[in-house]
Chain A
Amino acid sequence: MSNPEEFENEIRTVKESVPDADESAIAKEFARYKDEFLVPPKHALRSVIEHFQKEAGMEVSAPNTSTRRAAKSVERFSDLASDDTNVTIEVAVISYTPRMTMVRGEEKQTAFGWIEDNPWEEGGERTRWDFKDWGNHAENLSPGSVVRLEGVSVNEWNGKFSLNINQTSRVAVLRASERKVVMAPSEPISIERVLTMDGFATVVARVITAEQRTVNKKDGSGTIDLVKGRLADDTGTIGFACFGDFEHPVGALLKIESAAIRRFRNTPELNIGERTKVEIYHDEGFASLENLEASSVMQISELRDGATDVAITVQLTSWSSRKFTGKDGAEKTVWGGDAVDPTGVCRLTAWSELPIDEGSVPLAIRLSNVRVRSWQGTPDLTVDRIEQAEILDAIPWDVIDASTHSVEVDFSELLSGGSRSGVTSSATVISVQSGSGIIHRCPDCKKAMRDGACREHGPQAGIEDLRLRIILDDGQNNGALILGRESAEAFLGQTMADVQAATKDDGGEAFLADLRSRMLGRRHTFTGRAMIDPQGALLMADSFTLTDLNLEELANEVRERWGVFA
């Protein structure tokens, strides 16, 4: 806690501005800033002076205004300084080299090249500078043209000057050019990077599986022959499909140039088409087939909807079968159970009978060439043929209790991965969305209604339900968290009837305001499942609590991680 002496200097300064202010009151104010708001006296000085000026009925002194650089229009590069921004200048474009770069998972075109000033004077002296185009102005920056650049900025790097043409910059073509911009050919990139890309890619990879398949065309007009399989390098694996001849055996090392990246559900795949060039590649140092096969075995946390050729070992914790009538009227049986491994939980579905009965679980099962399908948003393993499964003699880890199994995952890791069940994670509540509290569900489709009407089924008397919609955010990722009635009741410590009573009079405004002030800015922990797709993340919570934090430990972790000590 603070003692008055430590503010001596600051108190004197305040007294200079407000001579009549009471010293102990000033000290109290500084102590309050320090203890309650964590603001040191030096930083609180201005606020405290203002406070006492106001109290004394004095005019609060207004500080001067500062000036910043305005837009600058020049004719020659030599008129520019290294810190100039918002510059307007007319230049001749000498070269323009586009480059594809990955920006937030999307392929984006940036470019660099040369420009020269003094573009109009025939035979006049010109200065040449580099430029970078961040705003995809390729159309207006053809080599040979003369353009006016507006809102560009100067960059100095090791004494060398260049211009940045930004997204907000404007390029006005003053004299057009005939030449066209040609795309730069792509270099080989790692599979790890391809998995996050769209567009075209060139890879050097080894074939680890390849299988001739025949598929029916969707419109029923016949069949297509294709080869499907999997490629690997030491950064990961990716499926491929080839619609032409593919005569390379498993184990072959290939360079595949400009294959299209297609996504099936959440799983990217390389399409080898007519314009793709495939050739044998020689590299003694490339990872061997054995190593690549071993490292391509997956864990539950890595499963993605739509994946095929998956190799994985899981522990089965339950097993049962059910009969149903298929579309063709025949009675069929499907088997299924809950699977876990140290990284998560999922379902396992089998379309042919496996040598397992209900009494034999828990047991370990090794699967190969199985596929992943999503069920209720989280990925499940699907076994089609008995030879894809092998029962192991022993479970390769301490037996996991599936009913309480949840894996603690860092929030950003969870949200930048694929859908998962059985996870626990924590992040800060950044918003309590309207529509939290008592809602009305449509009796027909169970969807939440708005203003007494269902979007599909029109106005009607809805069924009341309790739900909370919360945005969790850790500063790098965010997701919408849904608490259903049960988990909301547990979190609130209130029954739905309590909430109904509390929200009856004002339509829930006070209830929501109270929730916001209790939750906003505070870190919370949830357990449940995460459904992740390109539109965002939906988190379904089985339980939700305020996170118990040890501040000192947290601060220490940050100091250790980044080596910041004073």
Chain B
Amino acid sequence: MMPNQQRNRRQTATRLFAREFYESSLPDGGQGEFDPRFIVTKLGARVNRMFVCGVVERLERRDTERGPMFSGAVRDPTGLHLWSVGSFRPELHLEMEELVARFDDGDRFLMACIGKSNHYTTEDGGFRCRMQMEDYAIIDREVYATWLVETANHTMRRIDALGKAQSAETTDSNALRDAGVPGDLVDGLGLAMNHYGDWDAEGYKVGVLQALSAAEGRVISFEEHEASPPAPEETETENEDAAEESAESTPTSKGDLNIETVVLEIIAEHAGDEGIDYDSIMKHCAQRGLTDEDSIEDMIYSLRDDKCEIMEPRFGWFKPM
């Protein structure tokens, strides 16, 4: 029998520019079996589902033991949004093959991408964000410009809320509410302010200006934007390459290899037709002496997203591919 299945509300798709997403380093949620997972950005957006747009900058097919997967990136005015299409989403593969062929022929196009936020930790402890693609469309300049304006609006709304939150006495949610922070941002901003500490959102504002100008047809880059370290231009490419590298190099790390073997064995041994649920994996790991839940969780995601050894047919349930 299935456990009491609690139906969560569908997650709203956060609009955010690439830089806000890849500068995030705070995961939240996902404690219970069906609890959604979020990445909290420096502006307090709790990102689960996300809607991003941009011109395609990378697109490649990778063959894994479990079948093909695709990874790509789209560029917006602030940097690159990295995404991947897992081997467990075969319904998108046919179209992806076509897109890869177009891309390899030198064709470039604007994409609207909808997916779920995701993160993993690299070997050296670095935090990486990327998006698991759920759906996409090839769009025209008008639709892209509309997204730029909409995302500029949402970003400014968060910057404004951060300003209000910084004037609050504490990061307690009542204090934030009293300071005028909108209800949907209270929780995320409280987490964000405690995690990221004090910082200046001016760089994000420059991204907003750039997006609005582009939408209005004035395609220029702002010097401050270029100058503000780390220059997004380099950061994101590094991030991505580091991500890819780590995906390949993780197995060489001994500790991880051990966790990987154990997790894979547990899943292979105990997954029924439905798969095995997250909590049970943790319990089995504990029985075998693995108690670092964060590392195990990272390994599960790495196995799911990067190595594609396992799949998640239902939220929180895993089985071998």
* Chain B hits for A103, CB < 8 A: 173, 186-187
Q: What distance in Å separates the Cβ of B156 from its nearest Cβ neighbour in chain A? A: 4
Tell me which residues from 22 to 39 in chain A have a Cβ below 8 Å from any Cβ of chain B: 32-39
Complex partner residue of A521 from B75, B134, B143, CB under 8 angstroms? B143
CA distance A68 to B235 in the complex (A): 12
* Chain B hits for A552, CB < 8 A: 216
Does residue B269 face the partner (Cβ distance < 8 Å to A)? Answer: no
Q: What distance in Å separates the Cβ of A32 from its nearest Cβ neighbour in chain B? A: 7
Task: Tell whether, in the assembled complex, residue B194 and residue A170 are in contact, meaning their CB atoms are under 8 Å apart.
Answer: no
Tell me which residues from 506 to 524 in chain A have a Cβ below 8 Å from any Cβ of chain B: 513, 516-517, 519-523
Does residue A561 face the partner (Cβ distance < 8 Å to B)? Answer: yes
Does residue A101 face the partner (Cβ distance < 8 Å to B)? Answer: yes
Task: Tell whether, in the assembled complex, residue A475 and residue B14 are in contact, meaning their CB atoms are under 8 Å apart.
Answer: yes
Does residue A325 face the partner (Cβ distance < 8 Å to B)? Answer: no
Encoded as 1 (CB less than 8 Å from any B CB) or 0, chain A from 222 to 264 comes to: 0000000000000000000000000000000000000000000
Complex partner residue of A38 from B28, B145, B191, CB under 8 angstroms? B145
Encoded as 1 (CB less than 8 Å from any B CB) or 0, chain A from 480 to 510 comes to: 1000000000000000000000000000000
Complex partner residue of A562 from B150, B160, B219, CB under 8 angstroms? B160
Task: Tell whether, in the assembled complex, residue A151 and residue B294 are in contact, meaning their CB atoms are under 8 Å apart.
Answer: yes
Complex partner residue of B215 from A38, A39, A521, A562, CB under 8 angstroms? A38
* Chain A hits for B75, CB < 8 A: 37, 39, 43, 47
Task: Tell whether, in the assembled complex, residue A65 and residue B238 are in contact, meaning their CB atoms are under 8 Å apart.
Answer: yes
Task: Tell whether, in the assembled complex, residue A523 and residue B146 are in contact, meaning their CB atoms are under 8 Å apart.
Answer: yes
Task: Tell whether, in the assembled complex, residue A558 and residue B112 are in contact, meaning their CB atoms are under 8 Å apart.
Answer: no
Asked, given contacts A68-B127, A551-B149, A558-B149, whether A101 binds B174 with beta carbons under 8 Å apart, the answer is yes
Encoded as 1 (CB less than 8 Å from any B CB) or 0, chain A from 169 to 181 comes to: 0100000000000
Give the number of residues in A that approach B within 8 Å (Cβ atoms): 85
CA distance A431 to B221 in the complex (A): 33
Q: Which residue of A lies closest to B106 (CB)?
A: A51
Task: Tell whether, in the assembled complex, residue B226 and residue A38 are in contact, meaning their CB atoms are under 8 Å apart.
Answer: no
CA distance A475 to B48 in the complex (A): 11
CA distance A166 to B12 in the complex (A): 23
* Chain A hits for B65, CB < 8 A: none
Q: What distance in Å separates the Cβ of A43 from its nearest Cβ neighbour in chain B? A: 6
Asked, given contacts A516-B135, A517-B138, whether A62 binds B57 with beta carbons under 8 Å apart, the answer is no
Does residue B154 face the partner (Cβ distance < 8 Å to A)? Answer: yes
CA distance A64 to B245 in the complex (A): 11
* Chain A hits for B11, CB < 8 A: 478
Task: Tell whether, in the assembled complex, residue A431 and residue B172 are in contact, meaning their CB atoms are under 8 Å apart.
Answer: no
> Which stretch from B82-90, B118-126, B260-268, B310-318 is at the chain A interface?
B118-126
Task: Tell whether, in the assembled complex, residue A37 and residue B221 are in contact, meaning their CB atoms are under 8 Å apart.
Answer: no
| A contacts with B: majority SS | mixed
* Chain A hits for B200, CB < 8 A: none
Encoded as 1 (CB less than 8 Å from any A CB) or 0, chain B from 106 to 140 comes to: 10101010100000001011110000001111110
Q: Which residue of B lies closest to A412 (CB)?
A: B184
Q: Which residue of A lies closest to B294 (CB)?
A: A151
Most chain B CB neighbours (cut-off 10 Å) among A110, A168, A521: A521
Q: What distance in Å separates the Cβ of B3 from its nearest Cβ neighbour in chain A? A: 18
Q: What distance in Å separates the Cβ of B194 from its nearest Cβ neighbour in chain A? A: 4
Q: What distance in Å separates the Cβ of B68 from its nearest Cβ neighbour in chain A? A: 19
Asked, given contacts A55-B106, A475-B150, A521-B51, whether A42 binds B221 with beta carbons under 8 Å apart, the answer is yes
Encoded as 1 (CB less than 8 Å from any B CB) or 0, chain A from 535 to 556 comes to: 1100000000000010110110
Task: Tell whether, in the assembled complex, residue A38 and residue B148 are in contact, meaning their CB atoms are under 8 Å apart.
Answer: yes
Task: Tell whether, in the assembled complex, residue B9 and residue A566 are in contact, meaning their CB atoms are under 8 Å apart.
Answer: no
Q: Which residue of B lies closest to A187 (CB)?
A: B174
Tell me which residues from 202 to 249 in chain B have a Cβ below 8 Å from any Cβ of chain A: 205, 208-209, 212-216, 219-222, 226, 233-235, 237-239, 241-242, 245
CA distance A65 to B110 in the complex (A): 28
Q: What distance in Å separates the Cβ of B200 from its nearest Cβ neighbour in chain A? A: 15
Does residue B72 face the partner (Cβ distance < 8 Å to A)? Answer: no
Q: Which residue of B lies closest to A168 (CB)?
A: B27
Give the number of residues in B that approach A within 8 Å (Cβ atoms): 96
Does residue B41 face the partner (Cβ distance < 8 Å to A)? Answer: no
Asked, given contacts A40-B220, A549-B146, whether A520 binds B112 with beta carbons under 8 Å apart, the answer is yes
* Chain B hits for A517, CB < 8 A: 137-138
Q: Which residue of B lies closest to A475 (CB)?
A: B15
Asked, given contacts A36-B110, A47-B57, A51-B106, whether A134 binds B194 with beta carbons under 8 Å apart, the answer is yes
Task: Tell whether, in the assembled complex, residue B221 and residue A478 are in contact, meaning their CB atoms are under 8 Å apart.
Answer: no
Q: What distance in Å separates the Cβ of A549 from its nearest Cβ neighbour in chain B? A: 6
Q: What distance in Å separates the Cβ of A400 from its nearest Cβ neighbour in chain B? A: 32
Task: Tell whether, in the assembled complex, residue A155 and residue B126 are in contact, meaning their CB atoms are under 8 Å apart.
Answer: no
Task: Tell whether, in the assembled complex, residue B293 and residue A561 are in contact, meaning their CB atoms are under 8 Å apart.
Answer: no
Q: Which residue of B lies closest to A189 (CB)?
A: B174
Tell me which residues from 19 to 59 in chain B have a Cβ below 8 Å from any Cβ of chain A: 25-29, 31, 49, 51, 53-55, 57
* Chain B hits for A561, CB < 8 A: 153, 156
Does residue A405 face the partner (Cβ distance < 8 Å to B)? Answer: no
Complex partner residue of B136 from A64, A86, A520, CB under 8 angstroms? A520
CA distance A55 to B107 in the complex (A): 12
Does residue B289 face the partner (Cβ distance < 8 Å to A)? Answer: no
Q: What distance in Å separates the Cβ of B218 from its nearest Cβ neighbour in chain A? A: 9
CA distance A43 to B294 in the complex (A): 36
Asked, given contacts A86-B125, A134-B194, A558-B152, whether A431 binds B135 with beta carbons under 8 Å apart, the answer is yes
Q: Which residue of A lies closest to B136 (CB)?
A: A520
Does residue B171 face the partner (Cβ distance < 8 Å to A)? Answer: yes
Q: What distance in Å separates the Cβ of A194 from its nearest Cβ neighbour in chain B? A: 13
Q: What distance in Å separates the Cβ of B146 from its nearest Cβ neighbour in chain A? A: 6
CA distance A83 to B197 in the complex (A): 8
Does residue B144 face the partner (Cβ distance < 8 Å to A)? Answer: yes
CA distance A476 to B183 in the complex (A): 11
Q: Which residue of A lies closest to B184 (CB)?
A: A476
* Chain B hits for A564, CB < 8 A: 152, 156, 205, 208-209, 212
Ordered by A's residue number, 14 sampled pairs between the chains whose C-beta atoms are within 8 Å are A40-B221, A46-B237, A69-B125, A70-B124, A85-B195, A155-B195, A164-B194, A167-B28, A431-B114, A476-B154, A477-B12, A517-B137, A520-B137, A521-B112
Known: A63-B241, A520-B112. 17 other contacts (CB 8 A): A37-B110, A37-B144, A39-B219, A41-B221, A42-B226, A63-B238, A67-B124, A69-B126, A82-B197, A110-B173, A170-B294, A473-B13, A520-B136, A520-B137, A521-B147, A522-B143, A558-B212
A-to-B contact residues, CB < 8 Å: 32-43, 46-47, 51, 54-55, 62-71, 82-83, 85-86, 99, 101-104, 110, 132, 134-135, 150-151, 153, 155-157, 164, 166-168, 170, 193, 196, 428, 430-431, 471, 473, 475-478, 480, 513, 516-517, 519-523, 534-536, 549, 551-552, 554-555, 558-559, 561-562, 564, 566
